[in-house]
Amino acid sequence: MEAQKPIETPQEQQLSHPLTPPVATQKSNKNALVIIGIAALVILVGVVSFYLFGNRQTSNSESASVNAPSASNQKSNWKTYTNTYYNFKLDIPKDWKVEEKVIKDKKYVTGERQTYKLSSPNGDLTIDNTSIFDKNNHIKEQLPNTKIQLGTYTLDRYPYINDDNQRIDYVQLLNVKRQDEVTFAFNGDIEKNNDLLLEILKSFAYTKQKPSLDEEISYIIPAGWTKEDTDTSLGLSFISSDFHEEGLPTIITGARITINKSKKDPEKTLAQQTSPDSIYGKWSIATRSATFNSIPFANIFACAGEFGRCVDYYSTENKGSVWTITMTCNKGCDTKTGIDGTPYAKDRDAFLSSIKFK
């Protein structure tokens, strides 16, 4: 008879077979090993793929970013052109030529103006402020209109072909308070260089404001009068409480007083420089001298134009400039005696007596 083996307790079974787990546990561990092996394989494939393809893609991207010219890289070869006459600046390529010239011209009130020309080395693109005025400006063919960005200003651009088959293409920045008017005319191969032209124009900026006349002259506004919202670098304007105008404009009621400044023309007297001869077709004029607050004035009363617009001018010179204070009023002011007899004349005289130069 075969000897019977003693029955082992669970604790004894565990101790006698410490490295031999039950059958179910063996199967579970085998499955885990398979899963771990698959995961490791996936990770290995991913790492290899990254080094084979990811590095190549990154390298290509880096190469592309180095080779692609950026706006900042392009602008590194540019310079800033600053115009101190009209107080603006533009960024242009370093190899561009700059030409400036101040011209004495009797057609202009100040007696002078500046011309400027910016041009590429081979002349296939130029930007200036005078060429359009030397050409026939009659439109033979209108080219497509566009908007153009001149610094922070959005302007209309109306290129066209004139009767001489020349392309007229320019923009003008007008009516910016306390800034000069600016003209940019474009010549050359515009179609080829249009992107460059637009990039240059986008860099436009004014460099400083023109001084306000308030910085050079002081005055007291008559009671009831108000100061108009005008470009104070060009002139100052004040109106009476009953002021009203329509049409051309024509003053219907009330009166207006203005202050203007211009450069003194050494070849003319005050009366000659402030006479409206070259501006209006005058049909009546009277000249006399006047003094207010110890300041001598040349007083000219003139009625000009077909509508009989009458203006009472008081001009004086200070530091090489001519200052002109004018008063205009309604149709009852069509004679010097008439204008001096209005209530506005007292306000005019009080205003003139308050003027001081700083």
Do 313 and 344 lie in one domain? The reply is yes
Q: Which of 206, 236, 263 is the last residue of a domain?
A: 206
Average the pLDDT over each of 69-73, 94-98, 142-146, 234-238 and give the range with the smallest value: 69-73
Ordered alpha helix ranges (H), the chain:
10-16, 23-49, 55-67, 71-75, 190-202, 270-274, 336-340, 343-354
Do 106 and 195 lie in one domain? The reply is yes
* Structure tokens belonging to residue 202: 């986008």
Examine residue 14 and state whether it is found in any structural domain, yes or no: no
Segments forming the whole domain that contains residue 94:
73-206
Q: Which pLDDT belongs to residue 267? A: 83
Going by C-beta distance under 8 Å and a sequence separation of 6 or more, which residues neighbour residue 177?
231, 232, 233
Examine residue 297 and state whether it is found in any structural domain, yes or no: yes
Contact 111, 97 (CB under 8 A): no
Do 223 and 187 lie in one domain? The reply is no
Do 218 and 343 lie in one domain? The reply is yes
Contact 206, 88 (CB under 8 A): yes
Contact 118, 203 (CB under 8 A): no
Contact 166, 186 (CB under 8 A): no
Do 246 and 196 lie in one domain? The reply is no
The number of distinct structural domains making up the chain is 2
Which of 69-73, 226-230, 299-303 has the highest mean predicted lDDT (pLDDT)? 226-230
Do 272 and 311 lie in one domain? The reply is yes
Examine residue 3 and state whether it is found in any structural domain, yes or no: no
What percentage of the chain reaches a pLDDT higher than 70?
74
Instruction: For residue 148, give the 3-state DSSP assignment.
Output: strand
Q: Which of 206, 229, 253 is the last residue of a domain?
A: 206
Q: Distances in Å between the alpha carbon of 312 and those of 181, 255, 335? A: 28, 11, 10
Taking residues 69-75, what's their average pLDDT? 52
Total residue length of the chain: 358
Average pLDDT over the chain reads 81
Question: To which H or E segment does residue 137 belong?
Answer: none
Do 167 and 246 lie in one domain? The reply is no
Contact 300, 271 (CB under 8 A): yes
Going by C-beta distance under 8 Å and a sequence separation of 6 or more, which residues neighbour residue 170?
132, 157, 183, 184, 185, 186
Do 260 and 156 lie in one domain? The reply is no
Do 185 and 222 lie in one domain? The reply is no
CA distance 257 to 33: 101
* Structure tokens belonging to residue 140: 């033979």
Q: Which pLDDT belongs to residue 277? A: 59
Examine residue 122 and state whether it is found in any structural domain, yes or no: yes
Residue 237: pLDDT band (50, 70, 90) is very high
* Structure tokens belonging to residue 74: 């392009």
Contact 231, 254 (CB under 8 A): no
Do 339 and 245 lie in one domain? The reply is yes
pTM of the full structure? 0.67
- In the block, which residue shows the tokens 């207010």? 292
* Structure tokens belonging to residue 161: 């072909």
Do 352 and 232 lie in one domain? The reply is yes
Taking residues 235-263, what's their average pLDDT? 93
- Looking up residue 99, the CATH number of its domain turns out to be 3.40.1000
CA distance 311 to 251: 12
Which of 23-32, 65-74, 109-118 has the highest mean predicted lDDT (pLDDT)? 109-118
Residue 283: pLDDT band (50, 70, 90) is low
Average the pLDDT over each of 256-265, 269-278, 344-353 and give the range with the smallest value: 269-278
Contact 315, 300 (CB under 8 A): yes
